[in-house]
Amino acid sequence: MFARRIVTELVAAKRHRQFDRLVLIVAPSFLGILRKALPQSLQTAVEAEVAKDLQHQTVDEVRAHIPQSVFQTIR
């Protein structure tokens, strides 16, 4: 299952301290599936969720969909 592959990669990245917070930007049809696959250690790292399919957008367009509060709490 694709969600499990994503979670496996995220768990490994978190274990190697490649991130401490996540912003999930996921198509609405996949967001619920991904949420269910996330272990507690990743659920607590989720800072925000954007339920949109932005795969064909530029970085600036994607950034515009991320809540400003995420940028204000950068550690």
Helix, coil or strand: residue 22: strand
Q: Tell me the per-residue pLDDT of 4-52, one tens digit each, with 9 for 90 and over.
A: 999 999 999 999 999 999 999 999 999 999 999 999 999 999 999 999 9
Q: Are 33 and 3 in contact (CB under 8 A)?
A: yes
The domain total for the chain is 1
pLDDT the model gives residue 70? 84
Tokens of 19: 């991130």
Q: Which domain holds residue 37?
A: 2-72
The answer to whether residue 73 scores a pLDDT higher than 70 is no
Per the model's pLDDT, the better-predicted residue between 68 and 7 turns out to be 7
- Residue 66 — φ and ψ, nearest 5°? -85, 130
Write the CB contacts of 40 (distance below 8 Å, at least 6 apart in sequence): none
Alpha-carbon distance 23 to 46, whole Å?
6
- For the entire predicted model, the pTM comes to 0.81
User: First vs last Cα of the chain: how many Å apart?
Assistant: 33
pLDDT the model gives residue 71? 80
